[in-house]
């Protein structure tokens, strides 16, 4: 089996899992994986992550043109921006997951670090999560905003839209995405309650122990 076929099968498998567990819905969300030659396997535009045909998943050349499969997601600018600006990115996942999106609607979140430090794993897997402004879906300006972070963030939240996470491979990106959604859910469940968040010292220990990119 070719690298392209294996990547398509892997994307379809994980996309179905994401869909079945309610982390995405309808035709929302998209996934990309970078192959050894720099080309990308990408979920097609208008497709449901729960019903992907692996053979129709887009294969995009490193230069950006379609090699095979259906036309790719209109959100290619945000995927390309992470690959171009963050070294070591092997996969990008973008969802419209409910709790993460809900955080972007609240008026008093810290736009530089949207997720409160509630658990060690949210710090370990996500670092600081930047809130980006609202852009129309597919707007190339989303990509420019991600490039403007100069590779210093592996995860962002798009206002009134949803989360985007980059990882070294697909499993890493999905694990980080699930951690974001779980932490966002905790943050909303505990909203208005005085909670024992991780202290600055504890966050610093996690950052040092697990080599988390944290400082701007």
Catalytic residues: 75, 121
CB 84 within 8 A of CB 151: no
Secondary structure (3-state) at 5: helix
Cα separation of 50 and 28, whole Å?
Answer: 10
CB 43 within 8 A of CB 56: no
Name which of 25, 23, 65, 27 is nearest 44 in CA terms: 27
Our CA dihedral for 82, 86, 88, 91, rounded to 10 degrees, sits at -20
Helical ranges in the chain per DSSP H: 3-20, 76-85, 98-104, 120-126, 140-147, 170-189, 200-209
Secondary structure (3-state) at 196: coil
């Amino acid at each position: 089996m070719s690298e392209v076929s294996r990547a398509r099968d892997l994307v379809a498998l994980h996309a179905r899992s994401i869909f079945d567990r309610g982390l995405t819905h309808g035709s929302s969300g998209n996934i990309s994986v970078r192959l050894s030659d720099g080309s990308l396997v990408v979920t097609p535009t208008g497709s449901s992550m729960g019903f992907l045909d692996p053979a129709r998943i887009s294969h995009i050349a490193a230069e950006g043109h379609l090699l095979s499969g259906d036309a790719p997601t209109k959100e290619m600018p945000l995927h390309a921006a992470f690959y171009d600006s963050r070294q070591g990115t092997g996969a990008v996942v973008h969802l419209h997951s409910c709790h993460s999106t809900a955080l972007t609607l609240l008026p008093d979140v810290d736009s530089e670090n949207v997720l409160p430090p509630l658990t060690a794993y949210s710090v370990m897997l996500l670092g600081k999560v930047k809130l980006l402004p609202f852009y129309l879906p597919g707007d190339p300006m989303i990509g420019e905003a991600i490039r403007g972070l100069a590779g210093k963030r592996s995860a962002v939240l798009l206002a009134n839209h949803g989360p985007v996470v980059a990882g070294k491979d697909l499993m890493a990106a999905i694990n980080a995405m699930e951690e974001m959604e779980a932490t966002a859910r905790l943050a909303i469940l505990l909203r208005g309650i005085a909670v024992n968040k991780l202290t600055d010292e504890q966050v610093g220990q996690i950052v040092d122990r697990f080599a988390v990119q944290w400082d701007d």
